[in-house]
Structure 1
Amino acid sequence: MVVTVPRVSGQVRDALAAAALAVCAAVAAAVWPEVRPLDAPGLLLLAGVHAPLAVLRRWPGRALASLVVLALPYHLLQYQHHALVPAEVIALFGYAVLGRRVRVVLSVVALLLLTCVVGMAMRAGGGSVREQIAVIEGVVAIAIAVQVWRSHRARVAAITERAERAERTREQEARRRVAEERLRIARDLHDLLAHSITLIGVQAGAAAHLVRGDRPVDRGELGEALASIAATCRDARTELRGTLQVLRGADGGPPEVLPGIAGIAGLAEAARAAGLTVVLDDEGAGTPPPEVGVAAYRIVQEALTNVVKHAAATTVEVGLARDGDRLAVRVADDGRGPAGGSPRGFGLLGMIERARSVGGTLDAGPRAGGGFTVTALLPVADVGSVTPR
């Protein structure tokens, strides 16, 4: 048979401990009296000093105040002082651990104890006063030590909290960097693959139309279509290799050169192979910083991809020119424009992010007389100080 022992609550344990400490203090005061032997009033004061210890864990401030109020007359009446030292030390230590406004409260307690010393000095003399002062000094020393311990504990807690906050900040920064890197990878792959696949699809469709047509197959025309597909595949492979080398940080061999404004002529040629009439004006572009050149290339690439896929246009104008300390990039077509007046999908969002990554802006919308226009303004001065977003 299993016997279940009822559990004793914490408050009951505290009350029992306070009662046991009061009995020990009463025995000490009776066996080693000082100026005044322990009588009935002294016994009541001694028991009253120990009573607040039963609720110290629950109400530390009230318990300490009650203990001080009862301890002062006990000391002033010249009862055995040493008997109360354990209770006073426990009350001070408990308040230091559990209470609020510890420094102010302990300062008030020290002032009251000093008042008690002055009162005892006026009622007794000689060695008794020195002993009383020694007892009070011991209690005050304990109070100071507890305050030092509390301050050290608070300082350690503050240091720990700062370290945890710094760790959380590092984790948030790492997550932010991962999110930005994922966004950049997605943007690069979208710009590269969407453009190449669109051109390959258009060129393959033209080759299929030549093969299925009623007239005899023009081998030269078919060869040009297939050669355009092969060239687009080579360009896509080169760009993909360069992008992967940048992402991997590969050390084996020189990395592929990332595209810049010099590659925009190739984009125009590829769009012409897809059946568009492309008018390119890049004589006023100059030589912008590499990151601005890459952003301009990607914006033109995505804009031309949208024209080929959605605009049903015949002519597209691509212009690059300096506008003060900015590079103006403009792509305008004569097509029908996107359904609903604004493009859908990730293309426009990617172009906006490209422009913002170098501190620029991008606007896109229908043009007067039909068609669609994409205009980007990219800074060409102090670009290195811009933090990519």
Structure 2
Amino acid sequence: MRVLNRLLPLLAVAYAAVALTDLLSRTTRPAAELAVGVAGTLVLSATMVLAPRVPLAALLTAGATITIESAVHADVAISPAATLVSIFAVGRLADRRRALVGLAAAIASVLGYYAFSPPGSPAELVSTLAAYGAFWAVAYAWARRDEEAERARRADRALLLAELRTQMARDLHDIAGHTLNVVVVHAGAARLSLDAAPDTSRALLRQIESVGTDALGDLDDALGMLGEPAAELRPTTVGLADLPALVRRFAGSGVDVTLTVGLATDAEAQGRTEREAYRIVQEALTNVLKHAAPCTVRVEVVTDGGDLVVTVTDDGSGPEPDWAPGRGIAGMRERAARLGGTAEAGPDPEQRGFRVRARLPLTAPDRRP
């Protein structure tokens, strides 16, 4: 369409040159008819240039012009052809209602033109109507196809934004929940040891400061995305390399964490898989701190074929008989499911305590975010 827009001025000049040559070559035509013909030619040339900007107005003007030219016998043979540009522009650029109005106006202009013209072959009228209809139909179908494509893009964008909001909600839940639980436990331990073991209290306070600083950075990353264009939105980036730092946050909290990461030499997890594995471990450790401390926890991250298997087990008292999974466990399952994996959480079948196990594909389906 942009190429056509650039060509329209040249097309209008070419039309005017042909039409004016035809008009001026007829020396027997009355001066009044000649004036109307020249004026009509200039108007039709202008509608060709203006059609992309004001398609319906250009078409109505062009249709009225060729009808008036025909009524005073000042038309030239190619006058109806000049209207084709406006017809195409109406079908391509106008909304549905205006496009239909434009089609009706085009048909009316053809009928008006031939009503005042000398009797001719019916085939000429039919062929002109067919040309008008074909130009309009092609342009209209093109416009509707673009509308459908735009609707699909908007739907994809809405889906992406919804997925990103869900992802951000999970991240914020994990970041805030984990941080607050660690801070509360460390703060309580620091208060209890303040008099008897001030060095321990100071170490715990430093740990609180470190955890809070890390959390602020994560929150800045997450909240900073709110001001970014949708195409640039991405969840916060963490991975398996960040697990040792995560484990160190639990020092002095009553949760003794042992971390084992054993990846096959040829295994390489996608960034999304690493991020979800990290968040699952983070949520599992936070739940241990809330419900099972003091206890010992084993965190194992290993590869099994084409999967990354994350297991977090503790030797705490285990859940109550009537326990039910909360938001955190639901979030783990959602994270795994988004990658085409699975996550299970419940009483450890091998010992007293609780177990979380997630199986995530190393190469996840290409879904955003």
Scaled by the length of structure 1, what TM-score is found?
A: 0.54
After superposition, where does 1:91-106 map in structure 2 within 5 Å? none
Cα distance per residue 1:301-355 (max 9 Å; x no partner): 111111112345622221111111221110122333277443212x223323333
Aligned with 1:273: secondary structure? coil
- Residue 387 of structure 1 aligns with an amino acid whose one-letter code is R
After superposition, where does 1:259-298 map in structure 2 within 5 Å? 259-284=238-263, 288-298=269-279
- Residue 344 of structure 1 aligns with an amino acid whose one-letter code is G
Tell me what 1:154 maps to: 137
After superposition, where does 1:200-239 map in structure 2 within 5 Å? 200-211=183-194, 216-239=195-218
Asked if structure 1 preserves the Cα contact closer than 8 Å seen for 2:262 and 2:303, the reply is no
Tell me what 2:359 maps to: 377
Alignment equivalent of 2:154, drawn from 171, 180, 183: 171
Aligned with 1:327: secondary structure? strand
- Residue 221 of structure 1 aligns with an amino acid whose one-letter code is T
Distance 1:337 1:312, change over 3 A: farther
**2: distance between equivalents of 1:308 and 1:359?**
28
**1: distance between equivalents of 2:151 and 2:241?**
44
Tell me what 1:326 maps to: 307
Alignment equivalent of 1:342, drawn from 315, 319, 324: 324
Asked if structure 2 preserves the Cα contact closer than 8 Å seen for 1:285 and 1:320, the reply is no
Is the counterpart of residue 138 in structure 1 residue 121 in structure 2?
yes
Asked if structure 2 preserves the Cα contact closer than 8 Å seen for 1:210 and 1:217, the reply is yes
**1: distance between equivalents of 2:329 and 2:238?**
20
**2: distance between equivalents of 1:308 and 1:196?**
11
Runs of 5+ unmatched residues, structure 2? 1-102, 105-117, 230-235
Distance 1:144 1:360, change over 3 A: same
**2: distance between equivalents of 1:364 and 1:193?**
21
Tell me what 1:303 maps to: 284
Distance 1:356 1:156, change over 3 A: same
Distance 1:284 1:202, change over 3 A: same
Q: Offset at 1:186? A: 1.9
Aligned with 2:249: secondary structure? helix
Larger Rg: 1
Aligned with 1:294: secondary structure? helix
Distance 1:283 1:142, change over 3 A: closer
Tell me what 1:184 maps to: 167
Q: Offset at 1:198? A: 1.0
Scaled by the length of structure 2, what TM-score is found?
A: 0.57
Identity %: 34
Cα distance per residue 1:144-171 (max 9 Å; x no partner): 4334433443333322322222222222
- Residue 169 of structure 2 aligns with an amino acid whose one-letter code is A
- Residue 170 of structure 2 aligns with an amino acid whose one-letter code is R
**2: distance between equivalents of 1:352 and 1:288?**
19
CA RMSD of aligned residues (A): 3.2
After superposition, where does 1:344-359 map in structure 2 within 5 Å? 344-345=326-327, 347-359=328-340
Distance 1:355 1:143, change over 3 A: same
Q: Offset at 1:293? A: 2.4
Aligned with 1:142: secondary structure? helix
Asked if structure 2 preserves the Cα contact closer than 8 Å seen for 1:195 and 1:305, the reply is yes
Q: Say how many residue pairs are matched.
A: 244
**1: distance between equivalents of 2:243 and 2:367?**
25
Aligned with 1:297: secondary structure? helix
Aligned with 1:271: secondary structure? coil
Q: Greater RCO between the two (CA within 8 Å, min separation 6)? A: 2
